[in-house]
Amino acid sequence: MQRAFIQFPLQLLFFSNMKKFSLLLFAVVVSSVISAQNIVTSLENNVPGEGKVVIYQDAAIEALLGAERTFEGNESHRVLKSTGYRVQVYAGSNSRVARNEATQVGERVKGYFPEVSVYTFFASPRWLTRIGDFRSIEEADAMMRKLKSTGIFKEVAIVKDNINIQL
Protein backbone atom coordinates (compact mmCIF):
# COMPACT_ATOMS: atom_id res chain seq x y z
CA MET A 1 0.00 0.00 0.00
CA GLN A 2 2.79 2.37 0.88
CA ARG A 3 4.48 1.66 -2.43
CA ALA A 4 1.34 2.69 -4.39
CA PHE A 5 1.20 5.92 -2.40
CA ILE A 6 4.78 6.77 -3.46
CA GLN A 7 4.11 5.89 -7.12
CA PHE A 8 1.05 8.13 -7.33
CA PRO A 9 2.93 11.39 -6.54
CA LEU A 10 5.71 10.39 -8.96
CA GLN A 11 3.16 9.79 -11.70
CA LEU A 12 1.50 13.13 -10.89
CA LEU A 13 4.90 14.84 -11.03
CA PHE A 14 5.68 13.15 -14.36
CA PHE A 15 2.34 14.20 -15.91
CA SER A 16 2.77 17.70 -14.53
CA ASN A 17 6.20 18.02 -16.21
CA MET A 18 4.78 16.59 -19.45
CA LYS A 19 2.04 19.20 -19.30
CA LYS A 20 4.58 21.99 -18.86
CA PHE A 21 6.72 20.57 -21.65
CA SER A 22 3.72 20.32 -23.98
CA LEU A 23 2.70 23.91 -23.23
CA LEU A 24 6.26 25.09 -23.85
CA LEU A 25 6.43 23.18 -27.12
CA PHE A 26 3.08 24.61 -28.19
CA ALA A 27 4.24 28.15 -27.39
CA VAL A 28 7.41 27.70 -29.42
CA VAL A 29 5.49 26.36 -32.42
CA VAL A 30 2.93 29.19 -32.29
CA SER A 31 5.61 31.87 -31.98
CA SER A 32 7.55 30.43 -34.94
CA VAL A 33 4.39 30.40 -37.06
CA ILE A 34 3.63 34.00 -36.14
CA SER A 35 7.19 35.17 -36.86
CA ALA A 36 7.24 33.26 -40.17
CA GLN A 37 4.25 35.28 -41.34
CA ASN A 38 5.17 37.48 -44.28
CA ILE A 39 3.62 40.65 -45.62
CA VAL A 40 1.16 38.79 -47.83
CA THR A 41 -0.29 36.66 -45.05
CA SER A 42 -0.40 39.61 -42.67
CA LEU A 43 -2.36 41.61 -45.26
CA GLU A 44 -4.83 38.77 -45.73
CA ASN A 45 -5.67 38.58 -42.00
CA ASN A 46 -9.25 39.58 -41.28
CA VAL A 47 -9.41 42.40 -38.76
CA PRO A 48 -12.86 43.46 -37.55
CA GLY A 49 -13.75 46.96 -38.69
CA GLU A 50 -11.19 46.97 -41.51
CA GLY A 51 -11.46 45.97 -45.16
CA LYS A 52 -10.65 42.54 -46.48
CA VAL A 53 -7.57 42.04 -48.67
CA VAL A 54 -7.39 39.13 -51.10
CA ILE A 55 -4.12 38.58 -52.97
CA TYR A 56 -3.87 36.32 -56.01
CA GLN A 57 -0.29 35.51 -56.94
CA ASP A 58 2.02 32.81 -58.15
CA ALA A 59 3.47 30.61 -55.41
CA ALA A 60 6.96 31.55 -56.61
CA ILE A 61 6.39 35.13 -55.47
CA GLU A 62 5.64 34.07 -51.92
CA ALA A 63 8.73 31.87 -51.97
CA LEU A 64 10.82 34.92 -52.84
CA LEU A 65 9.45 37.00 -49.96
CA GLY A 66 11.99 37.22 -47.20
CA ALA A 67 14.75 35.85 -49.44
CA GLU A 68 17.94 37.86 -49.37
CA ARG A 69 18.74 39.72 -52.56
CA THR A 70 22.03 40.97 -53.93
CA PHE A 71 22.19 44.55 -55.12
CA GLU A 72 24.62 46.16 -57.50
CA GLY A 73 26.02 49.66 -57.27
CA ASN A 74 26.93 51.94 -54.40
CA GLU A 75 24.56 53.15 -51.69
CA SER A 76 23.28 56.13 -53.67
CA HIS A 77 22.74 54.20 -56.92
CA ARG A 78 21.52 50.72 -55.97
CA VAL A 79 19.72 48.52 -58.49
CA LEU A 80 18.01 45.18 -58.33
CA LYS A 81 18.46 42.85 -61.31
CA SER A 82 15.22 41.29 -62.49
CA THR A 83 13.63 39.83 -65.60
CA GLY A 84 11.69 42.34 -67.64
CA TYR A 85 11.53 43.94 -71.05
CA ARG A 86 13.51 46.36 -73.16
CA VAL A 87 12.89 47.86 -76.57
CA GLN A 88 15.56 46.97 -79.11
CA VAL A 89 16.20 49.89 -81.47
CA TYR A 90 19.29 48.64 -83.29
CA ALA A 91 20.84 45.30 -84.29
CA GLY A 92 23.90 45.47 -86.52
CA SER A 93 26.85 43.32 -87.49
CA ASN A 94 30.11 42.86 -85.65
CA SER A 95 32.02 45.61 -87.47
CA ARG A 96 33.39 48.88 -86.20
CA VAL A 97 30.84 50.70 -88.36
CA ALA A 98 28.03 48.81 -86.63
CA ARG A 99 29.43 49.83 -83.26
CA ASN A 100 29.39 53.48 -84.28
CA GLU A 101 25.84 53.15 -85.65
CA ALA A 102 24.67 51.49 -82.42
CA THR A 103 26.15 54.34 -80.38
CA GLN A 104 24.60 56.96 -82.69
CA VAL A 105 21.15 55.35 -82.45
CA GLY A 106 21.47 55.33 -78.66
CA GLU A 107 22.38 59.02 -78.66
CA ARG A 108 19.44 59.79 -80.96
CA VAL A 109 17.06 58.00 -78.58
CA LYS A 110 18.53 59.99 -75.67
CA GLY A 111 17.84 63.18 -77.64
CA TYR A 112 14.13 62.34 -77.93
CA PHE A 113 13.68 60.57 -74.58
CA PRO A 114 16.33 61.77 -72.08
CA GLU A 115 14.69 59.97 -69.16
CA VAL A 116 15.10 56.51 -70.73
CA SER A 117 18.15 54.33 -70.05
CA VAL A 118 20.10 53.31 -73.17
CA TYR A 119 22.20 50.14 -73.34
CA THR A 120 24.61 49.64 -76.25
CA PHE A 121 26.56 46.38 -76.12
CA PHE A 122 28.06 43.59 -78.17
CA ALA A 123 26.30 40.22 -78.05
CA SER A 124 28.08 37.93 -80.46
CA PRO A 125 27.79 38.22 -83.43
CA ARG A 126 26.24 41.71 -83.45
CA TRP A 127 26.06 45.14 -81.83
CA LEU A 128 22.75 45.89 -80.10
CA THR A 129 21.12 48.99 -78.71
CA ARG A 130 18.26 48.48 -76.28
CA ILE A 131 16.43 51.01 -74.20
CA GLY A 132 14.44 51.08 -70.98
CA ASP A 133 13.91 48.90 -67.95
CA PHE A 134 10.28 47.88 -68.21
CA ARG A 135 8.67 45.51 -65.72
CA SER A 136 5.71 44.74 -67.96
CA ILE A 137 5.29 44.18 -71.66
CA GLU A 138 2.61 46.90 -71.66
CA GLU A 139 5.12 49.53 -70.53
CA ALA A 140 7.56 48.40 -73.22
CA ASP A 141 4.80 48.48 -75.83
CA ALA A 142 3.91 52.06 -74.90
CA MET A 143 7.55 53.09 -75.34
CA MET A 144 7.80 51.22 -78.63
CA ARG A 145 4.76 53.13 -79.92
CA LYS A 146 6.34 56.45 -78.88
CA LEU A 147 9.52 55.52 -80.73
CA LYS A 148 7.61 54.59 -83.88
CA SER A 149 5.57 57.79 -83.72
CA THR A 150 8.75 59.86 -84.11
CA GLY A 151 9.13 58.44 -87.63
CA ILE A 152 12.87 57.86 -87.10
CA PHE A 153 12.86 54.54 -85.29
CA LYS A 154 11.01 52.12 -87.56
CA GLU A 155 12.55 48.73 -86.87
CA VAL A 156 11.98 48.37 -83.15
CA ALA A 157 11.04 45.28 -81.18
CA ILE A 158 10.26 44.32 -77.61
CA VAL A 159 12.73 41.83 -76.13
CA LYS A 160 12.80 39.99 -72.84
CA ASP A 161 15.95 40.91 -70.94
CA ASN A 162 17.47 41.32 -67.50
CA ILE A 163 16.57 44.81 -66.32
CA ASN A 164 17.78 47.17 -63.61
CA ILE A 165 15.19 48.29 -61.05
CA GLN A 166 16.28 51.44 -59.22
CA LEU A 167 15.99 51.22 -55.43
Q: How many CA atoms lie within 13 A of 161 on its CB side?
A: 20
Per-residue pLDDT of the chain (167 residues; tens, 9 = 90+): 555 555 555 555 555 666 676 666 666 555 555 544 567 777 777 778 888 888 888 877 776 666 555 556 566 667 888 899 999 999 999 999 999 999 999 999 999 999 999 999 999 999 999 999 999 999 999 999 999 999 998 889 999 999 998 87
Are the CB atoms for 165 and 79 separated by under 8 Å?
A: yes
Say what the pLDDT of residue 74 is: 63
Say what the pLDDT of residue 17 is: 67
Say what the pLDDT of residue 30 is: 57
Radius of gyration of the chain from its Cα atoms, rounded to whole angstroms: 30
Say what the pLDDT of residue 20 is: 72
Say what the pLDDT of residue 44 is: 76
**Ramachandran area for residue 22 (φ above 0: left; ψ -120 to 50: alpha; else beta):** alpha
Say what the pLDDT of residue 76 is: 62
The greatest distance separating any two alpha carbons of the chain, rounded to the nearest whole angstrom, comes to: 106
Say what the pLDDT of residue 16 is: 61
Say what the pLDDT of residue 145 is: 95
Say what the pLDDT of residue 41 is: 73
The highest-level CATH class for domain 70-166 is alpha beta
